Structure 1
Amino acid sequence: MASASSEPTVRTLVDEAPQDAVRRAVETLVADATAEDGVAPLSEQGRLDVHRDHGVTHLVAEAGGRTVGYAQLVDDAAELAVAPAARRRGVGGALLDAVLATDPAARVWAHGELPAARALATSRGLQVVRELFLLARPLPPEGDPLPQATLPDGLRARPFEPGRDEDEWLRVNAAAFAHHAEQGRMTREDLDERTAQDWFDPAGLVLVVPDDDPGTVVASHWTKVHPAGELGDEPVGEVYVVGVDPVHQGRGLGRPVTLLGLHHLAHDPRHPGLRDVVLYVDGDNAAALKVYRSLGFSTRGTDRMWARTADVAGDTMGA
């Protein structure tokens, strides 16, 4: 633990991954912060990017010979975490100042509605430029029954097939999320990294394809199950990515494609008895919010992105 008199210093690593010992320390402080706050300080992509040595600027705060904070900057988006034992000692301020010195136009995520995060952002004159809602609903039998997922004529659902569908899924994902900074830039490396995780289940990545052209993806719903302790005391399902090829948008696919994934989670043989499902959606995505709320989702939390100007266009979802 850093002593109260230790002033934090910040090391900046550009296209250079932290050394193993520092990386392990960062993983520990992220876990400790998650347990303390009830919300992870880094997104899933942020946690994966801790290991990357290209395309990421890593900022490591140290005091008393220990790693007490961490931030990362990818393009112009930043996230930061401070060890609970080192809070209220200027670590968060030092990290945020270093991020803004590196990129004055940086947009900084604050996950959850934590008063300390708001206070830090406003102390640097930052304003909210984007909101990401966490929505949730109980699955049957605790929650309301799910409507049937009825696709338009000529379309059917099938599971993702590893080794066959990667490139086609990436094509549709890039098109559906062309204006979404995080999701739309997913590469084959990113996809392979996720499909190699223990949580990945090909049956949980539901593809919608034409009856007469099953190799072409029209839309998809990728589901995920978080283990107990990650989002609560029990496993929790997630509407991970819902995307519709823009060529097929306007056909009312968002609702049935969402339902396909919800039905999978409700009857997932790998995770029987799931009680809850969550999803993230941009606060300005009225169309997606309308679909999700019509399916019984309500707001459980909010992530906010802060920057020095409010004149930043909001992103849109691809559902």
Structure 2
Amino acid sequence: MWTQDLSPDQARQVRDLARQARANDGVDPLNEEAYRSLTDQTARHVIFNNNNVAIGYLNYSVRFATGQFVVHPEHRRRGIGTGLWRQLPSSPPVGLWAFGDLPAAQGFAAARGLRPERGLLKMTRPLAALPQADIPPDLVLRTFTATDADELLALNAAAFTHHPEQGQLDQAGLAARLAEPWFDPAGLILAFDADGMVGFHWTKQVDAHTGEVYVIAVAPRAQGRGYGKVLLAAGMSHLATQGLPTVVLYVDTADQTAVRMYERAGFVTVHRDVRYIPIQEQE
């Protein structure tokens, strides 16, 4: 049965289920939006229980028309995943995320007439021997303050016009992220020229060993000037000062300009997330 309001115990059970799947598969079965929706009512949920314990979970984002599901490793190949998938509406068509695009996910998708439509690369590099980038004389870098919120949102919207998730960041979404335990104003680096904000690099400490290039954005009017490279170097330098040995990032495979920038900065791909859609929607 669908619900949009999970109890604290249900949310805890979903996190426990995801943790067990992650330990088994080596990849998290849910993304940040799904985890946030466990408490903010921004998605719809189906939980499959066995003796009052969650062994299957489906997350459906109406806003992004995407689904994510996970089945406990000890209860797979029993039709639970298929049953969850069948709960998704057929109209409008829903994209199904496969994080890590593991062989089992590929087989599941192929057997149900789903084909890859979008990909995200997870890339990583050590936070040592970092590339340097000279800051142009007309560019000023500083850290975020609360008064920068409106300008940051406007720049983000302009930079990610065609991005289905990041481009929809609004005041509520920004406020939620600023309230996260991991948020550090010193890790949100802004770039300005004479006409205002031209870019930002939002970094994130994932755990005691890993930092993340959470978001890099450059205003359309300033693209092609190398500001992305400057912001990338500044953000990685900040993460290195926190004593973190490794940095990761996620980038859309369609954004080859960004992929090449990261490759030139020493990042390598460690896995790929794939969004599958019904084959008739792709043709």
Same fold (TM over 0.5): yes
- Of 263, 271, 275, 1:293 maps to 263
Task: Summarize deviations over 1:261-297 as a string: whole Å, max 9, x none.
Answer: 1111122xxx32x211111111121111111111111
Whichever residue aligns with residue 11 of structure 2, its letter is R
- Residues 127 and 246 in structure 2, CA contact (< 8 A), matched pair in contact too: yes
Q: Does 1:67 align with 2:50?
A: no
Point out the structure with the larger helix share: 2
Query: Percent of aligned pairs with the same residue?
Result: 38
Measure the CA separation in 2 of the matches of 1:241 and 1:18.
Answer: 29
- Corresponding residue for 1:222? 202
1:149-164 matches, within 5 Å, as 149-161=133-145, 163-164=146-147
Larger mean Cα displacement after TM superposition, 113-122 or 179-188: 113-122
In the alignment, structure 2 segments of 5+ residues that lack a partner are none
Kindly indicate whether residue 131 of structure 2 is the aligned counterpart of residue 147 of structure 1. yes
Residue 98 in structure 1 maps to residue 87 in structure 2: yes
Give, in whole Å, the separation in 2 of the partners of 1:73 and 1:113.
19
Confirm or deny: 8 A CA contact 1:42 1:111 kept in the other structure: yes
1:79 aligns with 2:68: yes
Q: 1:282 to 1:43 in 2, by over 3 A?
A: same
5 Å matches for 1:298-317?
A: 298-309=268-279
4+ aligned runs moved over 6 Å, structure 1:
none
Q: Which residue of 2 is the match for residue 200 of structure 1? A: 183
When normalised by structure 1's length, the TM-score is 0.83
8 Å CA contact 1:137, 1:277 repeated in 2: yes
Supply the distance in 1 between the matched residues of 2:177 and 2:245 (Cα, whole angstroms).
24
Q: Is the 8 A contact 1:136 1:277 kept in 2?
A: yes
Contact 2:98 2:274 in 1 (8 A): yes
Distance across 2 between alignment mates of 1:102 and 1:50: 23
Deviates more, 1:76-85 or 1:60-69: 60-69
Alpha-carbon separation, structure 2, partners of 1:120 and 1:52 = 30
Q: Residue 312 and residue 264 in structure 1: after superposition, are their counterparts in 2 closer, same or farther (change >3 A)?
A: farther
Partners of 1:23 and 1:103 in 2: how far apart? 27
Question: How far apart in 2 are the matches of 1:263 and 1:20?
Answer: 38
Which of 206, 212, 226 aligns to 1:252? It is 226
Tell me the SS of whatever aligns to 2:10: helix
Q: Which runs of 5+ in 1 are unaligned?
A: 1-10, 229-234, 314-319
Q: How does 1:102-121 map to 2 (within 5 A)?
A: 103=91, 105-121=93-109
**Are residues 1:177 and 2:151 paired?**
no
Q: Residue 167 of structure 1: SS of its match in structure 2?
A: helix
Q: Secondary structure at the match of 1:51?
A: helix
Give the number of aligned pairs. Answer: 281
SS at match of 2:78: coil
Counterpart CA distance in 2 for 1:185 and 1:70 is 25
The answer on whether the counterparts of 1:128 and 1:310 sit within 8 Å (CA) in structure 2 is no
